[in-house]
Amino acid sequence: MHILLIAGGWSNEREVSLNGSQAIQAALERLGHQVSFLDPSTQYHQLASMAVNVDFAFINLHGCPGEDGLIQALLDRLGCPYQGSGPSGSLLALNKAAAKELFVDCNILTPAWEFLPLPPDEDWSCRLNFPFFVKPNNGGSSLDVSQVSTPEELPACISPVFARGGEVILEESVPGMEITCAVLGTDPLPPILIQPADQSGFFDYYSKYTPQAAQEICPAPVSRELTTLIQELALSAHQKLGLSGYSRADFMVAEDQPYLLEVNTLPGMTATSLFPQAARAVGLSFDQLIARLIELGMQDK
């Protein structure tokens, strides 16, 4: 097939996207596909003309555009199939506040949160217990995420997000194990236990993308009962958000109780990424994983 590989974009996760696209392009070529590359940051005006002349698009974008569903909506209108979720599910998963509303609706526990679409008034006070995390409401790769322990620390953490035109979500810290669980098709994959780099304290950008900075143990060394529960919750969230193809759900586990943090619709595909590790645990090589995603995308669209 002739495949359009879409990566790069203009979010602050651009470099992560481009890094992963190198491995994906190599795999596509090994699988015998002809690959054309498009970076929306410089070739956005060419998307339509290129999409109508290929058989399939493989999207490796993080943040906006990509995980917000914009590219998927355009490809749908152009009649070009692609891997992963459609516009609606992508948007709902990327918006952490919206996703949490849906988690609560289907009885999936998630840490207490507060959504700040605008900078708060001077007399505002946060209702959450310290410590808590400050996160961009639409974003990933742990960029601009910080942990706040006192009220005095909060303004300096939320100001940069608002300065870039973003929204903020505050999320109570849940002490415990960090575990992620991928879904491929309709099947949950083995969960992965994440032990962040010592200097990080949580699974931040450094831990995610620096080789050997974090320990990632797959399958997670937890009980069969906890493994099954996490897999069931990951699949339930995938379905509640209306996702397809694949996703990866991130949890904090306190005393064998999982709390769902968020769901990623375009999981990372770098050399150190979690989704390919989970696929390897069930016998899928990176190339086989890419081939399976294309197969699922052709079925769904």
Decide if pLDDT at 213 tops 90. Answer: no
Extents of the domains making up the chain: 2-83, 92-109+175-300, 113-172
Over residues 50-92, the pLDDT tens digits come to 999 999 999 999 988 999 999 999 999 999 999 999 999 999 9
Contact partners, residue 224, CB within 8 Å, separation at least 6: none
Q: What is the pLDDT of residue 143?
A: 61
Residue whose token pair is 């995938």: 238
Q: Which CATH superfamily is domain 113-172 in?
A: ATP-grasp fold, A domain (3.30.1490.20)
Which residues, other chains included, contact 24 with Cβ-Cβ below 8 Å and sequence gap of 6+?
Answer: 5, 7, 58, 60, 269, 290
DSSP 276-300: HHHHHHTT--HHHHHHHHHHHHHHH
CA–CA dist 82, 297 (Å, integer)? 5
Do the two domains 2-83 and 113-172 of this chain adopt the same fold? no
pTM of the model: 0.90
Q: Which residues are identified as catalytic?
A: 13, 141, 209, 248, 250, 262, 264, 268
CATH code for the domain defined by 2-83: 3.40.50.20
pLDDT tens for each residue of 154-174: 999 999 889 888 899 999 999
CATH fold of the domain at 92-109+175-300: D-amino Acid Aminotransferase; Chain A, domain 1 (3.30.470)
Max Cα distance, the chain (Å): 61
From CA 119, how far away is CA 111, in angstroms rounded? 22
